[in-house]
Structures are given as structure tokens and as C-alpha cells.
Structure 1
Amino acid sequence: MKFKILLALIFVNLMQAQKFQFPKTAVTDSLILEKQMPELARQVIPQLQSEKNKPENKVDLLDNLFRLQMVAQDYKNSLASLSENRNLFADHHMGDYRYIGFELYSMAKLAQKESNISFPNAFEKVFNQKYESLPEKLIPRLPLAVDGNVRESRKQMKEILDAQKNKDSIDYKTALSLCKSYLSYKTYSSIKPQVMQLLASKDKEKFIIETRDLKIKNGNTLTITIVRKKENTSPLPVILTNNIYAGLFDEFFGKRAATYNYVGAVVNTRGKRNSNNVNDPFEHESEDIYEVIDWVSKQPWCNGKVGMIGGSYLGFSQWAAVKKLHPALKTIVPQVAVGIGIDYPAQNNIFMSYMLQWIQYVTNNKLTDEVDFGNFAKWNLINTEWYKSGKSFRALDTISGKTSKIFQRWLDHPAYDEYWQKMVPYKEDFSKINIPILTTTGYYDDDQIGALYYFKQHHLYNKNADHYLVIGPYNHGGAQSFGFTYVNGSPIDPVARISIDDLAFSWFDYILKGGKKPEILKDRINFQVMNTNTWKHVADLDKMHTSTLKFYLQDKKNTPSVFNKPETQSFTKQIVDFKNRDLKDTYYKVSKKDSIKTTTSIVFESEVLDKDMIISGNLSGFFNVSINKKDFDTDTYLYQIQPDGKSSLLSTHIVRASYAKNNEVRQLLEPNKIEQIPINNSYVMSRKIEKGSKLLLLVGVNKNPNWQINYGTGKDVSDETIKDSGEPLEVKWYNDSYVEIPVYKD
């Protein structure tokens, strides 16, 4: 009995340890809140460091710790924790300016106390000291690094406080969130606009920045920003960026080029900034960029040579530019380039809901609508409302409350037809592109399929293409910037922590200034093999692997190996009811530590691997299926289940079955007949899979609010509604179907 009482007391104490006193009045009285926050942070710090709440990795621990120490007004220790956090990124190019806004605030608070001066004076003093200590190539990034979102942090803080009404205590998780949002609001509301004014003053000392309206020969007016370093007085090559995200990064791209001793020119697309032309994203870049290059190349500060750089839409723009190649354009560096009509706004002919969010982001005003775009709760609600309503995909813009001609126009072209083809080089157009090109993308890049499409087409139609590829463990942001030390929560190999900026501009030095070829470019394809800390270099994409392994769609219980072809044909049946809009997900438990969502998928699990394996390249193969309808959208995922039970996504593939053989012509399936669906345009990966791991293959049917829903009638999928769903979709996945896994051996 005494033992039970003791256990109960321990449990009560543990529960109390997770609660902190926080008066009701702090919610409504800002003066009381100011007094309470330091004390709250002091109570949360020991809990953060306790075994129960300690984050899995040291980065997250130090990240939370320095923030709590700042709220606790322990600025000296907060700077030490922040410095320790940066040391974890010591071999990386982001280290010098991570959290620089918080660092400047803490330094200014200490200087204010030590020198007995006002906070603005203290801030200016420490800002000047820090600015002078930074590497020059980080200077263009400073405005981005200190531009904290005051409105958003205030909103988050208010939401947390509102939930605390009529409560005298606060739990650990909520207290941590409150401290972090409070700190962001406190810091950036204190240092802005002063820090922006100080940066503007420094820019005036260092750069000549000119923004002007450029009337090009086709009658359109575009806004262009030109940035030169004051010390560079002779004509230089110009690095041009075509930026639809007007006002966002314009000066950054220009200053970045100037810092690398080029002239930076950033032009905004039609309808943006001061342009009164119609804003039709993607449609006019080829024509307009030719005229911009023509003007730029004739300016006194240009030596007649132009290069282009940029990522995502800005990467697409470069491919648009080479459809009609201007003689002054000597090289392009397309990074994570959107494959228009290939991977966006539809991936393998399946339109994505995100397209409407993006359209409104770039068309709602002359700049970018950050508030609307960042309102993920709103967009999730819109997509969910559409999904539950069963209305046609065409109704998505009406459901959002704002109709869109662009959205509707895109939906009119579900095939890769002339509408998309005219925007970028198409087939034989690639044979005429004879300038050097450097493409960068990543294994986790949302536009990897597009970036590799251009690369493959260029080499297909131009056997002498001077075109290099660098691909590694980078996401959409990392493959067009500094990269990141962590991706998807895991550290990347040290050799992969390269500066994409340095790579790009060393390429420009090589092509435009006769410099040395970048060391990493040892062959056409340069790829990093994750978990080996090595780069490999091969002549073409097919040589990323040396053999393949066929993973057949069969239950491992009925075969010694899923990698052996089955002796007799059978199938696994899957039923998907499109009328059912129950969003409840199902999961496949792979271990005590992890599970994988399998709501509309069938799971095939391999045996335990008895040796290490390097998977390198992209998935291929065929699905042999029969369905009771004319069409469906396949959804494929390949996972590694590590020996410790954690899962890692290796590759994905999604395709509309009727376009799987030819993305330009729809070929409907014959109901109840076995059809073969090829697997093309999956995501490339290069990674060592450790002995003791298993592979998990998920195959299934796309049915979720992030994509169109294909009801299988054979009509235009954008026009189908839940009324077209008819009887449930029945898929027979035959066991002689296989996903071909690329394997690399030295």
C-alpha cells in the first residue's frame, strides 16, 4: 500500500513538474506579461534539459536553449549557446549568420547595460562591429537574415495567450512555444526598422543600386534593378536573374552578383512591380528575356557577356531564355528549375492543388502576397473543403473565393501540348543550345523531375552538349543556395556541405572570365552518395548505377525473396471508393518507433538485407494491372526501414495511367483488361542502405486533397465530380509487376 502511495506521489510530482505558474492577468496586461516572461523562461530551461523533454539532437536543444536564455534575460549565456549551436555548422557556409538578429539583440542588450547607453545606440555600435567582421559574400544575405516576421510572431503569441485565458498555470510545451514566439516578436519589433536603415546605409557605401523601368522592343515595360560594386569601375560580365517574385530577393540577387565581382541585373516579369502589362506567369519569358539581354549587353557597364542564374521559376526562366538564344548569353546556371508542364503545375499529368495557392501568391498584387501565401491553415481548409465537397477540380478557385483565369487556362491543357511546349525548348530546339550549362538539383528537390528533364533532353538532342549536373542531398532551397547541414531532420555528409553560391560563381568565373573549372565537375554527372561521404562522377545518368534489382509485388511470406520473379501469376486486389471522403488515415507499423501512412496503398516488404547496398538513380519498371474503369492515378513510394526501426523515404512516383506511355497523348485503359503502366520520371536518389535494413514498397491510388482526383470515366479529369465515381475502383496489382531499383557497385 505504501509503495502505491509513493508511486502516486511521484506521478503527481512529475505532472506538477510539467506545469508552471502563469497568472491569468498576464494574458490581458502587457506589463504583467513583460514581468512574467523572464521568470517563465527560467522555469522552462531545466525542463528542456531534463531527459523527458530533451530534444533528440543537440541542434534542437541548443536552438531552444539560447532562445529561452534570451527570454530569461541571460544574454551572456544565450550568446554562448548560440555560438555552440553555430559550431555544429562550423564546416558550413551558413554558420556565420545563423540567428544573427537574435545575436545582435543580445549583444546590444549587454552593451546597453555595460556602457549605460540607450538601446538604439548600443544596437548601432554592435551592428557596426558585427558587419565589419562578416565575410563579404554574406553581406547580401543580411537583410534576409534579420527580416523577422513581426506580424506572424505577434499572431502566434496572441493565439497562445488567448488559449491561456482563465488559467493560472501553463504546461511545458505551451510555455516553450510562448517563449519562442514572444522572443521573435520582442527581438524583431525592437530592431526593425533600425537594422534595415543601418543596412541601407552600408549598401550606399558599398554598391551602386539603380532601379528603372525598361521599355523593351515588343512594347512591354519591365522593372529592372542593376547592382554594381562601387570599386568596380570597368565593364564586367552581367549576371541576369528573371524574377517573378518582385520585391523579394531583387536586391539580394543583384548584390550577390556584385559581391562576386559581376554586375547584377534582376528583371521582374510582365505585370510585376511598375509594369502595367498583363501578368501571365511562364507564357512570355522567352520573348521578353531576349529583349532584356539585348538591352543589358549594350550598356556601358557590361562587357558584352551575360550569364543567367536562379532557382525554381527563375530556373525555368533560363530555359525559356535559350529557346531563342541571344548571342550575348554565354552561359546559364538553372537551379531546381521548374519543368513547366512536366512537374508543375502537373506532375506526370496530375494537377496539384498547390498551383492555385501559387498563382494567387504571384498575381494578387504587383509584388508577392506573403500573407495569403503563408496562410497554410486557410489553404489546407480550401483544399479539404474541395475534397469533401466532391466538386470538380475546376471548382477549386471558386471555393477559394477568387476565380482565376490562369488556373482555368492551365487546366485546359492536361497533356504536354503546344501550350506548354512553346514556353521552353522542345525536342529539336535542344540541339541548337550550344552554350555551357550547369544544372543543380537535389534528391529532396520538389522540382528535381523538371531539372533533370531539361538535362536529359539537352543531352538527347545535342550529343555534344556542354552541360554539367551537380546533385546531392539537397531540398528545393538548399540546391539553389548554401545548402543545409541537415535535411529532413538528419545531417548530410560533410563532403555534401558545399556552397552552391560559390559553385555557381566559380562556374561563371570559368566561362566568363577564363578562370579554373570548378573542382567538383569531374564529369557530366556529379552526385553525392549519401552515408558514404563521397562524390561520384559519371558520363551519363544511366551510369549512376551499375545494375538493377527488381522488387516484385508479392508477399514475402509466400516467397524466399521479393527480388525473385514469381513462378505463377497472381494478383493483390485493392478497392478504392472515391465516394468515401473520410479523411481518417491508416498506418503501417514498421517498428515501435515508426509507422508509415498507407491510406490508399498496399504494402510490400522485403526480407532483411544481408549486406550493404547503394541505391543510385531513379526507379523504373512496370505495373501490370487491370482495373474496372478507364483510368486511374498511381502513387508509389519506396522506403528504407533502417536496422533501428526508423523509416527513410527513398523515392516517389506519381502518374496518370493514361499518360504513362506518352505525356502528350492520352491513352485510356480498357476496363478489366491487363494493361502495362511504365514507371518513368521518378525521383533520383543515391544512398547507401545499411545491412540489416529492409525495403518497403507502397503502391496504390492517388486520392487526397493535394491533387486532382481521377474518377476513371475517361472524361477530362478536371471536370469530373464525385457523381462520376460510380462503383468503387477495383485494381488488380499482378505479382509479375516490378519496381526496378538501381544499384551502384564500385
Structure 2
Amino acid sequence: MKFKILLALIFVNLMQAQKFYFPKTAVTDSMILEKQMPGLALQVIPQLQSAKNKPEKNIDFFDNLFRLQMVATDYQKSITTLSEYRNLFADHNMGDNKFIGYEFYSLAKMAEKAGNLPFNKALQTAFDKKYESLSPSLKTRVPLIVDGDVREYRKTLAKVLEKQKDKDSIDYKSALALCKAYLNTKTYSSIKPQIMQLLASKDKEDFITETKDLKTKNGNTLTITIVRKRKNTSPLPVILTNNIYAGPFDEYFGKRAAIYNYVGAIVNTRGKRNSNDVNNPFEHESQDIYEVIDWVSKQPWSNGKVGMIGGSYLGFSQWAAVKKLHPALKTIVPQVAVGIGIDYPAQNNIFMSYMLQWIQYVTNNKLTDEADFSNAVKWDSINTAWYKSGKSFRALDSISGKPSKIFQRWLDHPGYDQYWQKMVPYKEDFSKINIPILTTTGYYDDDQIGALYYYKQHLKYNKNADHYLVIGPYNHGGAQSYGFTYVNGNPIDPVARISIDELAFSWFDYILKGGKKPDILKDKVNFQVMNTNTWKHVPELDKMHTSTLRFYLQDRKNNSSVFNKPPTKSFTRQTVDFKDRNTKDTYYKVSKKDSIKTTNSIYFESEVLDKDLIISGNPAGFFTVSINKKDFDTDTYLYQIQPDGKSFLLSTHMVRASYAKNNINRKLLKPNEVEQIPINNSFFMSKKIEKGSKLLLLVGVNKSPNWQINYGSGKDVSDETIKDSGEPLEIKWYNDSYVEIPVYKD
């Protein structure tokens, strides 16, 4: 047996070490490259299909295989592979969406050969056939899918080829990368110009699209795009989206509404598209949207009823709109809504470095600066340079080379003060919101805390609010579009793979057209329990759990269970040196293939669970601590260690200790005195934890280039520098501290 295993390992190593012939002349001669690529792909395919890869048949396998088959010019096989991929892994409606550009190309090449046609004629034939087979909702997405960045594809191909300079062979990994880069360049440079023209022609047949500039009462200009289905001649309800991300999505959002038989209206915020006004994100939406709703509700194509939809900033905009509710606004569908001042640009009062990247993304020009925003290397280097420098967080924009008044203004408001409060409903404002609302968010949504803040505040101040919530295993993108098959590398249950678009427009039909209520909305809170393939429905958020389990910060060596209150009081000491910017990372080893980073944290592990447990809701509790400074930022992670030796992140929480009890007014800690820090606004999750698992709890201190660093001097954290850090932070985590884990039982 051991001998067979050894032979298998030798075989795999040989395969990994294998190199393929690839002439160095192909690097500089495009004609030679064209001739060599099919043969190279044919050599790479067998290795991809080797015993090492084939049994798993995962997403990467199919994704690589269909691309290699295309490069090898076996277009029929690539179509078959895509079909198999969809059957096994397809996201809801995502199979066509994700790969349609490659399908247009493959179908065109097949038609070219079969009919001896010029490529442009073959492409038109392929386009007409495939386009007509798509659902109306997928048709609206096609322009976004085929709008590939050919210039970037060519740059990537050039970089891959440069690595092959003066070489006559290529290894498997490099060959695979070359085939993929070549295919992207070949496909999109061949199809994009013609397909975009064909799509424009189709849109002209199906839709009436108008772009206008609206003047507000105070003299500002807003650009609005109106999209109507040509065959709809009677007035219809209007679905309005307030969009700071001016660009291709404006028409997409409009057509999306039109295909569901509404009028789509997309207004760009001040300073975007045709507006020459100052662009101050978030600040004027409440005022401007009221005037936009007033205008659209009075147009001849409107029946006077308006609904709103959109995610992230667009979700925030809807809450801004109901700060002063216009009578024509009948419903909103805020998706993954930014909680301004709550979870962005600061999460629980801790500002994030990402805020500067986003500010430049939406303010660098009249549309969006995609190239700058997606330049991860640039932004990582800026954040790292700031972190290494020890300068104040206020210096981040200067370090980026582009000082920002918006960035500085936001930093002037570290508490949830009137600056933030005036942008959206606050306290009693929520009591006046009496229109039906549908909120969607996800367990992995970056703005979950914001989305649920609005939900909780609405229900707190309006007990009879007609407000529904759908929450499941979705990330920021999934909870405003469709439930992806895989999220954070983990498969989600089939029942969770729903179309958020279809849910939203079913809701609009229900509210604005007297249709049927969407089936999933069986109660006010509708949540998917991961690992059970079921949805649950409860009347309020707190009913997501039926009991709690307290996980105490204690070493199990001194007690039978972390879930029992310790009999005697003690503490675990942690030291964090803020001056050390080269801290060596530490890890908790889960298994040979998995580990969890524990740098700047201490961890506590539970005993192995002897029965299944459904964790549902968000962790709460208190930390009892004593520190030698006036403040610090806590950082908490709750993991499941699965029976198969893999880790699964369940929930996170971070908070500035001085704001933990009141996010408006800061109250500094007293050095070396015992204090209690409440755990509020952690991330919600619902998942069955299998018998044989254990829970791992990490508690520690935020010290990362991705966030402000709180040195604990008591000064405004944005102004602190490494010189304010003084002696290392010492924390005593007392063992009567606990994280209260929400548990659900039928």
C-alpha cells in the first residue's frame, strides 16, 4: 500500500514538473503565437484532467477546461463542458451570464466553419440565435458581460509572454495562464465591437431611452436616464434608482425595470455625468431625491406611483429618501444598504482605510475611476506605507498623493453625531415611515450591520412597520443580485440560490400592482439556515434564536467546559506593541491544510460538541477587561472547526471601546481599572454546526493597515501617531467575559 502511494506521489510530482515545448519566437511574432496556441492547449488539457484534478471536478476544473478547449479550437467540446459546469455548479441564471461572451465566440467559430461564412456573418448568426434563447432579465445583462476590457487583456497577455522571453519551454502553471490570457484577448477583441452594435440595435427595437438634466430648486443639476419598454404605451409605476456610480449601470438598471413592465428611472448624484456641482457623497441625497420623485411622479409615462431599488450606496439612498417621505413614494427595496456613520466609513466608530480608495473612485471624474479603484497593488502599497510610517490616519490621503477634503471632513466626525444623523432617518423619524419595505442582506455582506441597523431602528420606533427582511448566505454582491453557488470558497445550500432581482420585482408587483406576495415572505424575518437546505420564518429579528450559549474566556484545562461560568476569577494577559510594525504572524493550526491567523489575538477553544447545534443570530455579551491605556479597539472572531479539519468563519465583531456603550459620545477608559465592554453590532449568521465540531473564539486588538490604529492616548484617534503609543498595550481579559452565542431550536 505504501509503495502504491509513493508511486502516485512520484507521478504527481512528475506531472507538476512537466514542461511543454513553446518556441521563444512565439513571444515576439503574433503569427507564430497564433499557430502554437492550439497545440499548447492540447498538451495542457491531459494534465488538467490527470488523476490529481479529475476526481474533484470543481469550479476551477470546469472553468479551466472549457477555456483550454476553446484555445484548442474544439468549440463544440467547450460548449458541452459549459453545459456540464452549469448542471453541477451554476448560480441562479449565472451560467449564461458569466460565460456568454465565450459562447458567442465559440458558436460563431462553429458557424463560420460549418457555413463557410466570414466571421462577422457567423457572429451575427450566433448572436441572433443565442440572444433569443435568453430570458428577458439575462438580456439586460449582456452589454455588461461583453464589455470586456480588451486593453487590459492585452496587457496581461504581454506580461505572461514577457516571462517566456528567451525560453523554448513552458511549465504547466505558466501554460495555463498563457492560454487564459490569450483566450480573453482573442475572444473579446473579436466580438466586442460587433456585439455592442448588435445590442444597441436590439435595445433600440425594444426600449425608449431618454437622458435629461433636471434642475433642482437650489440650482443644482442632476442627470436622469429614463428607460421604457417600447410596447408599453400606458402610464406605469416608476422604479427609481439613485446612482453615484454613473456609467453603464444606469441603462442596465433602467432596462431591468422596463423588462418587468415598469418605467426605469436612474438619477445620478450631484457632480456626476452632466452635473458640474460639487460631489459630496451622501450629504444631499435626502433633499435631491425628494425633488426627483416629485418630477417623475408627474410625467405622462408615470401613473403617480414610485418605488425605489438598489444596493450599497444605492440602498443608503432609499433611507435618505424616506427621511422626508414624498407621497408618491409607495415602497423601497434597500439592498445591502450602507449604514452611513454606522458601518461606513467607520464600523462601530473605527474608520477604515478603504474609505479613501472609495472616495477617489467616485470623485476622480464624472463617471467612476475603474482603473484606479481596481488597482489593488497601488492601494495595498499606500495602506502599507501609511502603516509602516507610523503617521496619523489623517495623513493617509497625503501619502496617496491626492489630499481629500471629503476624507478629512469624515474624520472630523468620529462619533455618530448630527453630521451623519441628518443624512438618514434618526430616532423618531423612523416612526413616520409607514410604507412597505423589503430589506435584503447576507451573512457575508460588508454592509450587513448598516442594513440591519435601519431594520432594527424602524421596528423600534414603529412597532407596526410593514417591513420584511430576507437574509441568507450572500456576500455584498449576492444579496443585491443572485445567490452565488460558492461564497468565500464554501458552497451554499441549493435552496438559497435565489434571484434577488426576481424577489424584488415580485415585491413591486405585490405593492404597486396588487399582485401576489412573494412566497419566501412567510413572516417578517426570513432567514436561510446554512447546512440544512431550509428557510426559516419568524416575526422578529430576536426570534432567529430561541436560547443562548455563553462562551467564557477561559482555558478548558482549568474547567470542564468553556460554556460553564468559571468558579474563580482570573485573567489572560495580552501584550501588543504598536511600535512594532514587523510583527511576525502567528497561527492556530487547524489541520495540515488549514490554519487561522492569530496575530494580535489570543484564542479559546471549546470542547468537541457531542450533538448538532444551530447557531442563528448575532453574538452578544461583554468583555471584562483592564488595560494600561485610555482606549483600544477590540477585534473578535468566532470560528467553527469542522469534523473534517476545516475552519469556517461564523461571525466577527470590532468596536472602539470608548464608544462601545454610546456611539455618539466617547467615554475613555480609566487605565488599570476593570471595565465592561458590551458586544453590540456583530455579524449575523445562521448555520447548523455538526456534531464533532468545536468552536474557536479569537479576541484581540485591531492593528492593521486596513483600519485606523488606536494608540490609546485618549486623543482623537485620527490625529494619533506612533509617538503617542508609549509603552506596549497590556490587556487583562477576565474569564467572566463571555460571548453569548445565539442558538436556534425548532
TM-score (norm 2): 0.97
* Residues 11 and 262 of structure 1: CA distance in aligned 2, closer, same or farther (over 3 Å): closer
* Residues 183 and 55 of structure 1: CA distance in aligned 2, closer, same or farther (over 3 Å): farther
* Residues 324 and 171 of structure 1: CA distance in aligned 2, closer, same or farther (over 3 Å): same
Alpha-carbon separation, structure 1, partners of 2:233 and 2:13: 71
Q: Specify the SS of the correspondent of 2:588.
A: strand
Query: 2:53 touches 2:61 (CA, 8 Å); kept in 1?
Result: no
Query: 2:316 touches 2:339 (CA, 8 Å); kept in 1?
Result: yes
- Cα offset for 1:146? 1.5
Q: Specify the SS of the correspondent of 2:442.
A: strand
Alpha-carbon separation, structure 2, partners of 1:737 and 1:212: 58
Residue 276 of structure 1 is matched in structure 2 by: 276
Give CA-to-partner distance per residue, 1:349-391, whole Å, 9 cap, x none. Answer: 0000000000000000000000000101110011111111111
Alpha-carbon separation, structure 1, partners of 2:248 and 2:426: 31
Q: Specify the SS of the correspondent of 1:739.
A: strand
Residue 716 of structure 2 is matched in structure 1 by: 716
After TM superposition, the structure 1 = structure 2 runs for residues 693-712 of structure 1, keeping only pairs within 5 Å, are 693-712=693-712
Name whichever of 250-259 and 163-172 sits farther off.
Answer: 163-172
Query: 1:87 touches 1:95 (CA, 8 Å); kept in 2?
Result: no
Residue 51 of structure 2 is matched in structure 1 by: 51
Q: For structure 1, which runs of at least 5 residues remain unmatched after alignment? A: none
- Cα offset for 1:262? 0.3
Q: For structure 2, which runs of at least 5 residues remain unmatched after alignment? A: none
Alpha-carbon separation, structure 2, partners of 1:539 and 1:564: 31
Residue 450 of structure 2 is matched in structure 1 by: 450
Query: 1:240 touches 1:306 (CA, 8 Å); kept in 2?
Result: yes
- The number of equivalent residue pairs is 742
Letter in 2 for 1:566: P
Residue 259 of structure 1 is matched in structure 2 by: 259
Residue 414 of structure 1 is matched in structure 2 by: 414
Query: 1:248 touches 1:368 (CA, 8 Å); kept in 2?
Result: no
Letter in 1 for 2:497: R
Letter in 1 for 2:510: Y
Q: Specify the SS of the correspondent of 1:153.
A: helix
Alpha-carbon separation, structure 2, partners of 1:175 and 1:220: 54
Query: 2:549 touches 2:742 (CA, 8 Å); kept in 1?
Result: yes
Residue 679 of structure 2 is matched in structure 1 by: 679
Give CA-to-partner distance per residue, 1:226-277, whole Å, 9 cap, x none. Answer: 0000111000000000000001310000000000000000000000000011
Letter in 1 for 2:183: L
Q: Specify the SS of the correspondent of 1:719.
A: coil
Alpha-carbon separation, structure 1, partners of 2:630 and 2:651: 27
* Residues 12 and 623 of structure 1: CA distance in aligned 2, closer, same or farther (over 3 Å): closer
Residue 156 of structure 2 is matched in structure 1 by: 156
Q: Specify the SS of the correspondent of 1:435.
A: coil
Query: 1:244 touches 1:272 (CA, 8 Å); kept in 2?
Result: yes
* Residues 7 and 201 of structure 1: CA distance in aligned 2, closer, same or farther (over 3 Å): closer
After TM superposition, the structure 1 = structure 2 runs for residues 334-373 of structure 1, keeping only pairs within 5 Å, are 334-373=334-373
Alpha-carbon separation, structure 1, partners of 2:429 and 2:39: 66
Residue 92 of structure 2 is matched in structure 1 by: 92
Percent of aligned positions that are identical: 83
Name whichever of 184-193 and 425-434 sits farther off.
Answer: 184-193
* Residues 579 and 7 of structure 1: CA distance in aligned 2, closer, same or farther (over 3 Å): same
Q: Specify the SS of the correspondent of 1:608.
A: coil
Residue 427 of structure 2 is matched in structure 1 by: 427
Query: 2:346 touches 2:352 (CA, 8 Å); kept in 1?
Result: yes
Letter in 1 for 2:531: N
**1:135 correspondence with 2:149:** no
Alpha-carbon separation, structure 2, partners of 1:591 and 1:496: 29
Residue 26 of structure 1 is matched in structure 2 by: 26
Q: Specify the SS of the correspondent of 2:468.
A: strand
Residue 535 of structure 1 is matched in structure 2 by: 535
Alpha-carbon separation, structure 2, partners of 1:694 and 1:586: 20
Give CA-to-partner distance per residue, 1:49-71, whole Å, 9 cap, x none. Answer: 11334585532211110001111
Alpha-carbon separation, structure 2, partners of 1:738 and 1:91: 39
Alpha-carbon separation, structure 2, partners of 1:7 and 1:423: 67
Alpha-carbon separation, structure 1, partners of 2:7 and 2:141: 54
Alpha-carbon separation, structure 2, partners of 1:189 and 1:166: 27
Residue 634 of structure 1 is matched in structure 2 by: 634
**1:313 correspondence with 2:313:** yes
- Cα offset for 1:147? 1.7
Give CA-to-partner distance per residue, 1:547-600, whole Å, 9 cap, x none. Answer: 000001111222111101101111111111100111542211011221001111
Alpha-carbon separation, structure 2, partners of 1:157 and 1:305: 51
After TM superposition, the structure 1 = structure 2 runs for residues 52-67 of structure 1, keeping only pairs within 5 Å, are 52-54=52-54, 56-67=56-67
**1:465 correspondence with 2:460:** no
Alpha-carbon separation, structure 2, partners of 1:140 and 1:204: 13
Residue 688 of structure 1 is matched in structure 2 by: 688
Alpha-carbon separation, structure 2, partners of 1:61 and 1:332: 41
Letter in 2 for 1:734: Y
Alpha-carbon separation, structure 2, partners of 1:127 and 1:8: 46
Letter in 1 for 2:40: L
Residue 441 of structure 1 is matched in structure 2 by: 441
Hey, which bits of structure 1, 4+ residues long, moved more than 6 A? 6-9
Query: 1:441 touches 1:470 (CA, 8 Å); kept in 2?
Result: yes
**1:555 correspondence with 2:561:** no
- Give RMSD over aligned pairs: 1.6
Letter in 2 for 1:246: A
Residue 193 of structure 1 is matched in structure 2 by: 193
Residue 249 of structure 1 is matched in structure 2 by: 249
Query: 1:86 touches 1:98 (CA, 8 Å); kept in 2?
Result: no
Alpha-carbon separation, structure 2, partners of 1:391 and 1:617: 39
Residue 35 of structure 2 is matched in structure 1 by: 35
Residue 399 of structure 1 is matched in structure 2 by: 399
- Cα offset for 1:195? 0.8
Give CA-to-partner distance per residue, 1:662-682, whole Å, 9 cap, x none. Answer: 000101000011110000000
